[in-house]
Every structure is written in structure tokens, then in C-alpha cells.
Chains A and B, each alone.
Chain A
Amino acid sequence: EAGVVQSPRYKIIEKKQPVAFWCNPISGHNTLYWYLQNLGQGPELLIRYENEEAVDDSQLPKDRFSAERLKGVDSTLKIQPAELGDSAVYLCASSLDTEIDTQYFGPGTRLTVL
């Protein structure tokens, strides 16, 4: 069974430029998460989807970050415009059963903003 797929794996952009990350969760997983992970720290939740609905986006900086999960499968996380402080690893995870928190993570996208 394929795991969570993320692309690109690495992205380098100049500040004020837009950037987008893509995630394909494990087939059949209804719940999808986007996390941000800074160096030396644990992942921080940005947004959680149940199917197409964003059920927890309280930590998403909505002035510059946006996300969508069309058709309840793939998801895209966008930053526009990017700032130097957005340099981090962006992780996507999916889970099947929200009653038991077993999340399957992708490899992440490492973003560097210059």
C-alpha cells in the first residue's frame, strides 16, 4: 500500500513569492492534516480536514496561508506571499479512524525562503 505522497520534496523561493505544496493521502483515509515543523521542534498542526471540510484551522495564518481539499482526496497548501520565517518542513498526514489517532505522515516538503 502506498504511503502519503508529498511534492515537491524541496523548494527554494525568494521572499514575497507564492508557493504551493501538494499531498496525496493514503487511499481511503478521510482525515488529512497539514503540519509545520521547525528545526528541532515537534510538528505544529496547521489545518485538519474531515473529507472536504476543514474542521480545525485555528492555527492556520489565514492572511497568507490557504488550503484546499477538493473531492476529499488530494490537498494543496499555499503560502502567498512567503516570508523568511516560513522556512520549515511542511508535513502532510492522513488517518482512517478519528477515534484512534494513528496518523500516517508523508516525508514532508522542506521550504527555504531567501
Chain B
Amino acid sequence: LAKTTQPISMDSYEGQEVNITCSHNNIATNDYITWYQQFPSQGPRFIIQGYKTKVTNEVASLFIPADRKSSTLSLPRVSLSDTAVYYCLVGGPITGGFKTIFGAGTRLFVKA
């Protein structure tokens, strides 16, 4: 499985755009990139998933360059409620299912 590296923590202010970059140099051809969000005392929540180029949904965008060795989660106009831990996962189909591993995550602090 590809190892992921992401910043331990980041600070931002309300209304700013936040970009969290994840490195995954050993990503395999059939691996997907998935991001989860976790608030204290809750389980992680799926945010977005992509394979290549750009993916956008109602809460975030995911930018994946052509070499796929990194990815960037973009949160537009963050609010205080976006303070959470964000996990980047890389994994793909294996015999019997889908394999991914959580790293330590990035702790985002949004200030007023």
C-alpha cells in the first residue's frame, strides 16, 4: 500500500480557502485517493474521492496532478465548523475488496 504524508496541522481564518496537500509517491495504477473528515467524538466522514484530474462536490474539490504522486484537498471559504482532522487515504481494489490505510491526518484549526 502507498504511504501518505500530510502536514500534521494547519491554521486558517474564517472565509479563507484552505488547501491540504498529501504526498503519495508510491501510488499504484489502480489506487484511488480518498479524503475523510473527523470531528472530536465522531467517526470519520467521507468527503471526496478521485482517481485523476479534478473532482468537485458540494463541500470540497480534489486536485490530482497527472503523475498522481500528490493530491490537494481544497475547502472553499472555511468556517469555524470546519475545524477537524482531515485524512488522506490511498488504496485500491484487492482480492476480496478494497484496501486503504488511514494516516495520522492533518489537524485544521479555523479561527474567527
Contacts and interface: CB of A to CB of B under 8 A. Distances in A.
Interface of A: 4, 31, 35, 40-45, 48, 50, 55-56, 91, 93, 95, 98-108
A107 B42 contact: yes
B43 A4 contact: yes
30 contacts: A4-B43, A35-B102, A42-B87, A42-B102, A43-B44, A44-B102, A50-B97, A55-B97, A56-B96, A56-B97, A56-B99, A91-B43, A93-B44, A95-B98, A98-B97, A98-B98, A99-B98, A100-B32, A100-B49, A101-B32, A101-B49, A101-B89, A101-B98, A102-B34, A103-B36, A104-B46, A105-B43, A105-B45, A108-B42, A108-B43
Interface residues of B, number: 24
Contacts of B42: 105, 107-108
Nearest to B34: A101
A44 to B, nearest CB: 7
A93 B43 CA distance: 8
Given A42-B102, A100-B32, A101-B91, A48 B43 contact: no
B43 A107 contact: yes
Given A56-B96, A107-B42, A43 B89 contact: no
Contacts of B89: 101
Interface in B4-51: 32, 34, 36, 41-46, 49
